[in-house]
Amino acid sequence: MIVKTLPTDSRPIEGELQVTEQATLTKIVEPEILSYNPAEIAAHYQARPWQVIGRIFAVLGPTISFVLGLWWDLKRGVVVKNDQRRAIQLRELLTQLGPAYIKIGQALSTRPDLVPPLYLEELTRLQDQLPAFPNEIAYQFIEEELGNPPEEVYAELSAMPIAAASLGQVYKGKLKTGEEVAVKIQRPDLRERITIDLYILRGLAAWVQKKVKRVRSDLVGILDELGDRIFEEMDYIHEGENAERFFELYGHIKEIYVPKIYWQYTNRRVLTMEWINGTKLTQTAEIEAQGIDARYLIEVGVQCSLRQLLEHGFFHADPHPGNLLATPDGKLAYLDFGMMSEIQPPQRYGLIEAIVHVVNRDFEGLAQDYVKLDFLSPETDLTPIIPAFAKVFANAQGASVAEFNIKSITDDLSALMYEYPFRVPPYYALIIRSLVTLEGIAIYIDPNFKVLSEAYPYVAKRLLTDPAPQLRISLRDLLFKEGKFRWNRLENLLKNARKNQDYDLNLVVNQGVDFLSSERGSFIRDKLVDEFLNGLNALSKNVLHNFTYLLRERVGITAINETPGATVEQQQTLEHIKNISNILRETRGFDAAQLAPQIAQLLVNPGVQRLGQQITNQLLQKATVRLLRELLAAEEVNSNEKSQLAKSTNLSLSTKRL
């Protein structure tokens, strides 16, 4: 590690971090970016045990002092949660301990349901109001990374940083070409401070995993996943690439804004991006004063997060309020693309299936989902786990499970995971961090906001429109139970799907036709034909019943017997069909005036023609079978009547002989 000394007569601004205790400023010229390698890190620090011990005491000393202070306050009857002095001490403690602990504080700053208001206010300052490092170091980094001093790169650069976060600080600037930009510059000594903390925490996680038998989760894997993400976050070139990928995947979503990256002025420790004028989502009064609905922007954020987690898999793992801004034109701007992560297709489909099973209280299916998602090994006995899931969601029996929030579900499941042989896969930690952080902002804006309730319309839309085999199987399992079609589930699915802004009824119809006419859709097609026949049978029974009733009661032809109408079950099927028809008519994209040309277009569709032939053949087969069954039943009745008549005749003759 190379150290350069920069002579200066200036003194750091009030509140700045001192880089050293010397009168001169020092800066660290770090080697080229290295990926996170726990083996190399372990080898490095095993050769430096005193450095590690020193860091452990540096963390334990102030931490124990703070905890003892809280204990003494409680003994004296002080209400700790209302003590601003202690809240400030906690914020200063986390700042003192360094970037790894600051990130813990940032995560807590989004949880008003966990943290008292005074502490929440102080922890919020960890998002972008940390002590800054000296300008001279920042300017030197610009010159080293971009090849020229700041005055030759930028037309303007703010005299002081306008924000300082855990890994760097931001200046407002202007390019020679006139564009306003944000210039982010990395903190000195960053890699060394984070690396030693990760090494210590990883060692602690390995010890706990080995010694505490009840801990079955891969704690080391979780720390390594976090280490990978933090090391990527320290490479601003990687962050710029993340921002551009994020824009390609989600920049087209209505009300989402992603700033532009200026590559000519970006390198490993300096990032230049478009300047965004905006307000933090948690500053609700300021947002409302601009005529912007903060709650609506949260809904936009939830929908974008669902796309990230369940559609493309590339997601923002650190959506704290400092990284989400409401722009003056009412858009949601994402900032800071350093901590991103990716979830693979099997896990994405598994999460969708799990949401469906939770909402529909299919706990056997939910237990299988946890196997697919690597929370349970395939050989695990699920018999005791299924009723345990039912118990977790027992208090939702009177209402929709979608009314639960993620935090409550996570807490309940955490207790369950402690009791049964669950293990938490590394990828899950960042997903929960992302969702819980976003939900924390939502609860801050609207305490009644329910992320799952907002998520289900998107999931319903995916089930109806996504051609993936896994989701088609989920759709089948959702709509059928023990061979019986569950009309109420289809109604619920259609009602929720139409709430999603991207729901396209024409797409659903076209994809439904393609699926039903394929081999994969044969099961649902066969069952739908059965339901269609039952519906026709019920309708014909009702018509005949009404007709015979009319002849007997109104016309007076009593010789005609009144035929029975449809059964209760058949009547319910007709009612469901009527409800679904109403739902479709009320769905966005349905236009009665365009219905005729759409039907005409569907009729010439080869898939529709093939489906029509298949359904017609099946209807003929089933109608023939039903007719034969009724004929045979009638013949059996006649045979029984003849047999009864013969028996009566024989009995009569025997009586006469007697």
Say how far apart CA 316 and CA 309 lie, in whole Å: 9
- Based on the residue annotation, tell me whether 412 is a catalytic residue of this protein: no
At residue 104, the 3 state secondary structure works out as helix
Residue closest to 130 by CA, chosen among 151, 144, 109, 111 = 109
Q: Count other Cβ atoms within 10 Å, centred on residue 409.
A: 17
Q: Is 374 left (phi over 0), alpha (psi -120 to 50) or beta?
A: left
At residue 172, the 3 state secondary structure works out as strand
* CB distance 252 to 303 below 8 Å: no
Dihedral (Cα; 147, 151, 156, 158), 10-degree rounding: 90
φ, ψ of residue 273 to 5 degrees: the values are -135, 165
State the residue for tokens 């299936």.
353
Say how far apart CA 70 and CA 76 lie, in whole Å: 10
Residue closest to 191 by CA, chosen among 20, 3, 41 = 41
Q: Which helix (H) or strand (E) holds 325?
A: strand 324-326
Residue closest to 569 by CA, chosen among 619, 605, 535, 607 = 535
Say how far apart CA 436 and CA 424 lie, in whole Å: 16
φ, ψ of residue 605 to 5 degrees: the values are -70, 125
Q: Is 182 left (phi over 0), alpha (psi -120 to 50) or beta?
A: beta
Instruction: For residue 433, give Cα distances in angstroms to 426, 438, 458, 469.
Output: 12, 8, 21, 29
Enter the DSSP assignment of 335: -
Q: Which of 218, 235, 318, 466 is catalytic?
A: 318
Amino acid, res. 653: L
* CB distance 516 to 524 below 8 Å: yes
Return the sign of the alpha-carbon dihedral for residues 128, 134, 136, 141: negative
What are the residue numbers of the active site? 318
